[in-house]
Structure 1
Amino acid sequence: MANRNNKQRSRVVNDTHCTSFKVCKLVKLPRITPPADLYAALNNTSPQNNKLYNSYVNFINYLPHIKKIDTKYYSVLFRMLLYLEEHELQLTVTRHNLKNQKLKHVSGKFRITVPTLDEDDPFITIGDELTIHSKDLKHSYDFKIINIIQKEVYVAISDEFPISQLLENKVDISFHIVNWPLRCYHYVLDNMCHYNLENLINPKINTDHYTLSKVDLDWVHKSIANNEEQKTAVKNILNSSSYPAPYIIFGPPGTGKTTTLVEAICQIRKEYKSKNILVCTSSNAAADEITRRLLHLLCHKDVFRMYSSRKCCSDVDEQIYPISNFINDMVIYLPKEIFIWKKIVISTFVTCMRLVNLKLQNDHFSYIFIDEASQNIELESLIPLVITKNRTEATSHVQVVIAGDPYQLGPVITCKKIEHLLGRSLLERLMECEPYQKVNNKYNSRYITKLIHNYRSKEAIIYTSNKEFYEGDLLCFKKENTHSIISNWPTFSEKTFPVLFIEVKGEEIRTPRASVYNEREITAVRVIVKKLMNSKIGSREIKGEDIGILTPFKQQKIMIERYVQSNNITVGTIETFQGQEREIIILSTVRSKIFEHNNKRHIGFLSNPKRFNVAMTRAKDLLIIIGNPHILREEKYWYTVWQYCEKNNATIFVE
């Protein structure tokens, strides 16, 4: 929930070029407020009804003990989870509130210095709101944030505000989250009862006879002809083999999930000219990637990329711009008369909510593709299903395709006591349902295909993840370089293995904002980067674009970034690197302490197996892990990779 798109930070929203021209009506969703006694229970205030108040308190305390969401209590339980998450988000935002501040007027905007604001803070973003309260004027004014530069927040001023009076007096400033996604999720819950979604949230095996077509297709991607799993998935999607249940593409890292999705869309377009397709993802980056690939393969007039009104034209790929809803640098939401002619529509889930007012026919979309399905909460995945149905019709004619990897990181939930419930994706829950379970150690390809050919990484790089998460099924098709990248380094001349564990016994230091950094590991990163920039991959010199530096902690990321800016190297947290890849990955683990909770020893943030899996699967040619093995091997996954490196003479101790 906290991983909202921050791409627009440090950019002023230009009202002329980034305003939404609303050709179709905007969706109006009511603000959702929890029941009074639940609000009292969350804020520890006086209840209206003591009995109801105590029931809410007991329920909230019991939530950590609920293992999964029973479909019988689906709506009620999810509603409560959303209330708790919004409450936690608001608490997080209020830590930035300010008292007795003097406003600064800069070029028609108020500039507010927020000392507590971190770089890339996920909770305060452009488009959020704040309230300025003047005690002297005894009045409050609401503003929208239009730009954020480091610790400076800028808000737009209209003519109606008494600028001079606000500048003369000290004011209090309070921040508020714009809970549009949460309101979308409440909308899904409000409307689920009107639609038959039982086959989606609780699918069953279809007893009707079905046989996979043996006729080969004219493959758009010729490589698919030699990949049985991809071929099976595309054919079954084309024939709606799992209908009315969703079809799942289980795509471990580097196995061609996006290629399979794009191939399926192209084959549908070739076979069924009249059928419409909706593609939804949780991020603009993923939606843009699919769009770019489709534009290389299909007629451009068939592809329509729908952006949010908060998207700025300057951030749009020039290749995508002509087929998007940007017209004269303004976002336009098309009226129904024009929209229905768009054959392939690509959008994020939340932007897709704009289609509600179009009141499309129940069978307008024949296929709905949900990509990055492990990265969003279940209710987010249901948005395209609810908004594209007509209440007057009882059945759905759409084949849903869900693609993702349940062993990679899911959505970020702010309220930790409900993370195990609200932070679980639809994909993860569906894979526990009967149609997607293994029988005799095999998946039923009518409902699910697991892609197993890894085209990204050398075999040694994916060894640990393959063993721990993918049952050893992954087959490596990455061509091995005969020349090791690090063989010409004097210290590492004997190290030819593509995974290197550099043992550094540094000390993690915690900042006032609770993030941590490790100076000795930062030094190690600097040394390694310098060596890499003087090395080659085969006969090609290594460039900054070939290198990615990962770390679990934001402060470590910030401090490393200061040293490598001139080299064009990407530095990021593990979360931000999900879905990305680089020839070389340097992973700084930072951790130097072992923690204990409920008599169980752990290494905190790094104990999350999904975080480990993402970190281990970004590299193509070389993975360098920097850390203290005596700390890391407390967790079995880290112990496995360290042991694997030691066995292959790929560990080195640095003083």
Structure 2
Amino acid sequence: MKVINFIKEWQKALQNEILHLKKYGSNKFLVTNGRLLSTEGSYTYYFDTAFSIRIPIGSQVRLEWGSMKQSGRVLSSEGKGVMLAMEQSFGDLIHEAQLFHDPWELLEQLIERLDEMKKNKQKRIRVKRLMDPSMPAKHPIEKSKSNIHELVLRSKYNPVTFVWGPPGTGKTYTLARVAANKYFQEKKVLILSHSNQAVDVLIHEISAFIQKKGRFREGDVLRYGFNTGEQFADYEAVTTSQLLQKEDPQLAVEKELLLAERRNLKQDIAHSFSKRDTNHLLELETKIARVLEKIRQKELEFIKDAYIVGSTLAKAAGDAAIYEKEFDLVILDEASMAYVPQAAFAATLGKRVIICGDFKQLPPIASSRDPLVTLWLKEDIFHRAGVVDWVRDGMLHPHLFLLKEQRRMHPDISSFTNQYIYHSLVGDHESVLKNRKPIVDLSPFQGMASVLLDTSHSGVYGMTEKASNSRMNIWHVLLSFQLIHESYVAGARSIGYVTPYRAQANLMELLLADLYEKECSTADIISATVHRFQGSERDVMIFDTVDSEPQTRAGMLLTGKDSERLINVAITRTKGKFIHVSDQSFIRKHVYNGKTLRQLVEHQGRMQQTIGTKDIGKWIKNQHPRLQWMHARKLEKVFLDLGSAKRSIILCLPPQTDLSEQWKEQLQKRSQSVKLTVLAEESWEELQPNQIWSNSFPFPFILIDEQVLWLGLPLEAAKGVRPPYIAVRLHSERMCEYLIGQFQKREE
């Protein structure tokens, strides 16, 4: 295909994705307690959010409340609150609504860059070499002394080099030294990636290496765009904010003071909602915008002087300071998650390009089902340039450079991915067994690096979140929290929890914020979807597959076209201990033999890495003060809680429950002031409930005073349970509030 035809198809694909996002949206947030603050010019609303959401000021958004839909823009977004300017009034108060935001403006900027490619012959030649890398490899292979040296030679003699970097194979280490080599020759290098984190990590490694060599000059290495700055706190100035602090400290201080004032004011607004505060906040946003413009002028000077610049693809496509500049070498990291037109755009910015990533990890994400979107925005450049075809045929493309020795994972973890994902092309470095032993020796499961924590026959906890339709499993969340707690008590300070489903990741985030706020502030503990976690690593990783009865099929994320890549990412984030929380019987029943998840379960079974529910008493050694596990037949504690209830008892009873006389008696003798709500399909008049709501929960639970959750009780109401019978008591207002929100939505 001619380059001009590629470009036209890419533009059409991007336009189709934009149309889809404008119509349906994909990033959806629940916003609550909406208050009308002002009616001047437009209708200004302030909403609370359950989680922090970052949406750039001025972004177009859509709000949906019942059957009402309308567009608006973001006036302020920071912390757990967002202020919106809407075109029409929704009324004074909005109980809850859905907020949709999709950064389609970024795709429009990319379309503009593609227009520029059409008019520029040199850019089109660079695109042709990328899309059809059939030119002979010209680097002198006989001169190669090491991996780094070979990549330096390839990037010197060949216009395009593809680097295949499976997890833990030293991709960052290698790329950083290649970039530094070019810097020592006074060449200009551009570092790009789809994510801020990947740019931060690579720029950090480059600057650290150059400093170690004693050849660092301030301003030569620049991290351009958004970053936290924590990554670079102990190093010479490489971020625009650090350089600004040195060159114009007064401007830097002014910015920080304004941001602090905005944070404080938003906290006031969340409680008071006065018109004066609202106007003050809008004035502050204007002042902040003016200061940011002054900083912008300084940043342009920094870019002009830098030799190595690091930025995201989105920033580069929208900022003339990057896209109008010519570089000697462009390095695109994490290229497997970039759209093909983004990779092409990156290639046009430099005389040489290194495309680095792992096509066995997650592909780019796009929402539309349009064929052109599927072709160009849902698969990576390695596939579309034909590089993967060679690998499938058992060969490496002449312009593909494979890093084939992993140093991240303990061999008991990597044995699965090395064999099943990378077909024995990747091996373990000899040091990894010894280096990971201290993590392996920690509890829980002392001495085991890879564990399948099997939740079979512990109850039917599979469900979907009402608002998002995303899957969740409360039993798995509590079990996984216990694993985090056991790991933390044992001394682990680098712990990750990943799951395919956003609702489940959010649920764990909520639990950590409520029960583990102090521990999370002193340790590196994170909950995220697998997609969000690509590019990260932790000492201990918990992978929760969520799916369980009464669901009748496994989710597409675990069985669909890209499931191998998702599971690969989930496993390979781990250094020393990989704990796979999964319902083995559900997977064996609903997932085919050839699927990666089934292969993982079978592999862990063969390697005797399975821990069943019967072993729960052996590994739970540290009961958290607010989360306790106990035998479900011992009812003293739950009856004590029921007897101590002050305001309310909410009892969930799935269909065909036969409640024992003991339970009936306890519920009947509650205080007159305690309101009993029963979630059930039957009337349960003998319990004398104050309220009966229809129930769609498949499992029993009890909520007491909207503070205490009992799960797994009453036992006679539980389905799909085999001994040992386990109950869990959680003291968490936030979790109770969340559950109440779930059944109220179902009732509505």
Q: Please, what TM-score do these two structures have when normalized by structure 2?
A: 0.61
Question: What does residue 288 of structure 1 align with?
Answer: 200
Q: Which has the higher contact order (CA 8 A, sep 6+)?
A: 1
For the residue of structure 1 that corresponds to 2:143, the secondary structure is coil
Q: Check whether the contact 1:335–1:358 (CA below 8 A) recurs between aligned residues.
A: no
CA distance in 2, matches of 1:438, 1:530: 42
Question: What does residue 500 of structure 1 align with?
Answer: 451
| Matching residue within 533, 536, 540 for 1:584 | 540
Residues 426-456 of structure 1: CA distance to partner in whole angstroms, max 9, x if unpaired? 432355159x835994425x52211111010
Question: What does residue 144 of structure 1 align with?
Answer: 74
Residue type at the aligned position of 2:463: I
Q: Check whether the contact 2:168–2:407 (CA below 8 A) recurs between aligned residues.
A: yes
Q: Check whether the contact 1:453–1:475 (CA below 8 A) recurs between aligned residues.
A: yes
CA distance in 2, matches of 1:561, 1:131: 25
Tell whether 2:481 aligns with 1:546: no
CA distance in 2, matches of 1:425, 1:253: 19
1:406 deviates by: 0.7
Question: What does residue 35 of structure 1 align with?
Answer: none
Cα distance change, pair 96–400 in 1 and its aligned pair in 2 (3 A): closer
Tell whether 2:312 aligns with 1:353: no
Question: What does residue 557 of structure 2 align with?
Answer: 605
User: Which stretch has the larger CA shift, 613-622 or 563-572?
Assistant: 563-572
Residue type at the aligned position of 1:235: L
Q: CA RMSD in A?
A: 4.1
- Written as runs of structure 1 = structure 2, the 5 A alignment for 1:228-377 is 228-237=146-155, 240-243=156-159, 246-270=160-184, 272-273=185-186, 275-298=187-210, 299-301=216-218, 303-308=220-225, 311=226, 317-318=232-233, 322-326=237-241, 327=244, 328-329=251-252, 330=292, 331-333=295-297, 339-353=303-317, 356=320, 364-377=326-339
Cα distance change, pair 256–487 in 1 and its aligned pair in 2 (3 A): closer
**Count of residue correspondences:** 523
Cα distance change, pair 141–71 in 1 and its aligned pair in 2 (3 A): closer
Question: What does residue 112 of structure 1 align with?
Answer: 45
Residue type at the aligned position of 1:367: L
Question: What does residue 45 of structure 1 align with?
Answer: none
Question: What does residue 403 of structure 2 align with?
Answer: 451
Question: What does residue 3 of structure 1 align with?
Answer: none
Cα distance change, pair 585–126 in 1 and its aligned pair in 2 (3 A): farther
For the residue of structure 2 that corresponds to 1:293, the secondary structure is helix
Cα distance change, pair 78–440 in 1 and its aligned pair in 2 (3 A): closer
Residues 233-261 of structure 1: CA distance to partner in whole angstroms, max 9, x if unpaired? 23322xx2322xx1011000010101110
For the residue of structure 2 that corresponds to 1:332, the secondary structure is helix
CA distance in 1, matches of 2:402, 2:565: 18
In structure 2, runs of 5+ residues without a counterpart are 65-69, 211-215, 245-250, 253-291, 614-723, 725-748
Tell whether 2:413 aligns with 1:461: yes
For the residue of structure 1 that corresponds to 2:311, the secondary structure is strand
CA distance in 1, matches of 2:161, 2:153: 11
For the residue of structure 2 that corresponds to 1:193, the secondary structure is helix
Residues 273-312 of structure 1: CA distance to partner in whole angstroms, max 9, x if unpaired? 2x2111111111111112222222221435343534xx48
| Matching residue within 522, 526, 531 for 1:570 | 526
Q: Check whether the contact 1:250–1:451 (CA below 8 A) recurs between aligned residues.
A: yes
Residues 561-612 of structure 1: CA distance to partner in whole angstroms, max 9, x if unpaired? 344333322111111211111111111111015988xxxx754221221111
CA distance in 2, matches of 1:615, 1:266: 31
Q: Check whether the contact 1:184–1:383 (CA below 8 A) recurs between aligned residues.
A: no
Question: What does residue 200 of structure 1 align with?
Answer: 129
CA distance in 2, matches of 1:215, 1:98: 57
CA distance in 2, matches of 1:306, 1:412: 25
1:618 deviates by: 1.1
Question: What does residue 558 of structure 1 align with?
Answer: 506
- Written as runs of structure 1 = structure 2, the 5 A alignment for 1:51-200 is 73-93=5-25, 103-104=36-37, 112=45, 119=51, 126-130=57-61, 143-150=73-80, 152-155=81-84, 177-195=102-120, 196=124, 197-200=126-129
Question: What does residue 573 of structure 2 align with?
Answer: 618
For the residue of structure 2 that corresponds to 1:570, the secondary structure is strand
Cα distance change, pair 378–586 in 1 and its aligned pair in 2 (3 A): same
CA distance in 1, matches of 2:488, 2:33: 50
Residue type at the aligned position of 1:556: Q
1:515 deviates by: 1.6
Q: Check whether the contact 2:450–2:577 (CA below 8 A) recurs between aligned residues.
A: yes
Q: Which one has the bigger helix percentage? A: 2
Residue type at the aligned position of 2:195: S
Question: What does residue 646 of structure 1 align with?
Answer: 605
CA distance in 1, matches of 2:104, 2:470: 26
User: Which stretch has the larger CA shift, 613-622 or 80-89?
Assistant: 80-89
CA distance in 1, matches of 2:546, 2:151: 41
Question: What does residue 212 of structure 1 align with?
Answer: 141
Residue type at the aligned position of 1:269: Y
CA distance in 1, matches of 2:323, 2:394: 44
Q: Check whether the contact 2:418–2:427 (CA below 8 A) recurs between aligned residues.
A: no
Q: Check whether the contact 1:129–1:145 (CA below 8 A) recurs between aligned residues.
A: no
CA distance in 1, matches of 2:385, 2:63: 48
Cα distance change, pair 334–349 in 1 and its aligned pair in 2 (3 A): farther
Q: Check whether the contact 1:130–1:173 (CA below 8 A) recurs between aligned residues.
A: no
Residue type at the aligned position of 2:539: E
Residue type at the aligned position of 2:418: N
Identity of aligned residues (%): 18
Question: What does residue 57 of structure 1 align with?
Answer: none
Q: Please, what TM-score do these two structures have when normalized by structure 1?
A: 0.69
Residues 487-537 of structure 1: CA distance to partner in whole angstroms, max 9, x if unpaired? 876xx57xx4411111103421111121222122123223323332343xx
CA distance in 2, matches of 1:525, 1:302: 45
Cα distance change, pair 451–131 in 1 and its aligned pair in 2 (3 A): closer
1:209 deviates by: 5.4
1:384 deviates by: 3.5
Residues 345-389 of structure 1: CA distance to partner in whole angstroms, max 9, x if unpaired? 11111222355368857xx41111111111111122233344x4x
For the residue of structure 1 that corresponds to 2:157, the secondary structure is coil
Residues 441-488 of structure 1: CA distance to partner in whole angstroms, max 9, x if unpaired? 4425x5221111101001121122222221212211213356784687
CA distance in 2, matches of 1:510, 1:617: 27
Tell whether 2:342 aligns with 1:380: yes
CA distance in 2, matches of 1:556, 1:385: 38
CA distance in 2, matches of 1:549, 1:313: 22
For the residue of structure 1 that corresponds to 2:169, the secondary structure is coil
CA distance in 2, matches of 1:294, 1:210: 24
